[in-house]
Amino acid sequence: MQLMEGIKRIVKDPPPEFAFEISSEGLAWAETAHPSETRLYKFPEGVLNVNPVKPNFSDSAALGKALRECVPAPTRPATRLAVLVLPDYCSRTTVLDFDSFPPVVEEQVALARFRVKRTVPFDIEDALIACYPQARKNGGKGLDVVTVAIGREIASQYTLPFRNAGIQCGLITLSGLAALSLDDANSESPAHWIQVKLAGRVLTVCLVDHSALRMFRSIEIDQASSAEMVEVLAPTLAYAEDELGERPSLLRLCGFENHAQVGEELGAELGLSIERVHSPLGTIGASNAGLLGMLATTEVR
């Protein structure tokens, strides 16, 4: 996925030794030298409640314990490098349109912070912001900038246990963004398509236009029913028709392993073809879609 390739070029650290994904199910991880050997450490029920406002971990020691029990001890004292995939719903991700965008990172962050301050449910002045500009594929002027905002305290809940374990996370991204890399193997992709990712009660929708992300939505749903998902997807389809000039022709389903029938109903109700996302590295589920996406694009030592 072009988005992930662009993000990777920003990272100057040496290739990572580990890749991790955190979800409400647990800690999924693998050594990047053995990407097909992914494992899952399950959290006790209720330990992680993903949301963008309140503390996510009910037990602040849970993630540190998982790391101690999962990750092999180093052969010598050293800081080890990793990539980390966070749950989509712990942050707010928006694709912003700009006529021009400054080249200096600090100026980019300040501008993006101003644009999203009225749309996020937390104090934007104390949030961490990351931006990735994308040129428009139709040759038009301006940029579409993927902007991720996360509360500082929530980010610390996820990252501090890694630092305490001597693990430096050189690249931190979201599951829905990382999972977009899983579609690279399909050379017959249409120009416009939608990835629908289900993880517990969180539905993440990504609208893709010629390998560029044009919309990202992550919301909680009461039940994993096709009716609820149609309500989320209908505005996305309307936006695509208005902004891209045509209706997307394909839904790529990710994390629907326990809701196969719902996926079929979703395609039928929206009149779109469906395709289930696959990976040669393993079976994709709600706990590892982002992990497998990162492993597919991560250089190893």
pLDDT value at residue 154: 96
* 35/123 same-domain check: no
* 29/169 same-domain check: yes
Segment 252-279 shows an average pLDDT of: 88
Evaluate whether 101 touches 188 at the Cβ level (below 8 Å). no
Q: Which CATH number covers residue 31?
A: 3.30.420
DSSP letter assigned to residue 14:
P
* Residues across the chain: 301
* 203/128 same-domain check: no
Q: Which CATH number covers residue 200?
A: 3.30.420.40
Q: Can you give the residue range of the structural domain that contains 142?
A: 92-147
* 119/38 same-domain check: no
* 48/171 same-domain check: yes
Q: Is residue 283 part of a domain?
A: no
Going from the C-alpha of 172 to that of each of 7, 159, 220, the distances in angstroms are 10, 9, 22
Which comes out higher in pLDDT, residue 174 or 1?
Answer: 174
* 41/166 same-domain check: yes
pLDDT interval class at 1 (50, 70, 90): low
Domain count, the chain: 3
Listed as own residue / partner, the contacts of 125-130 with beta carbons closer than 8 Å and 24 or more positions apart are 126/151, 126/152, 127/151, 127/152, 128/152, 128/155
Q: Is residue 282 part of a domain?
A: no
Q: Is residue 77 part of a domain?
A: yes
Segment 60-81 shows an average pLDDT of: 88
Instruction: Kindly state the tokens that stand for 134.
Output: 């994308």
Segment 35-51 shows an average pLDDT of: 95
pLDDT interval class at 73 (50, 70, 90): confident
Going from the C-alpha of 72 to that of each of 29, 59, 171, 205, the distances in angstroms are 12, 23, 21, 35
* 137/271 same-domain check: no
Which comes out higher in pLDDT, residue 135 or 81?
Answer: 81
Q: Is residue 281 part of a domain?
A: no
pLDDT value at residue 190: 85
Only one residue has tokens 């309307």, namely: 238
pLDDT value at residue 257: 79
* 160/42 same-domain check: yes
* 13/66 same-domain check: yes
pLDDT interval class at 11 (50, 70, 90): very low
pLDDT value at residue 12: 46
Segment 146-156 shows an average pLDDT of: 96
pLDDT value at residue 3: 54
Evaluate whether 207 touches 215 at the Cβ level (below 8 Å). yes
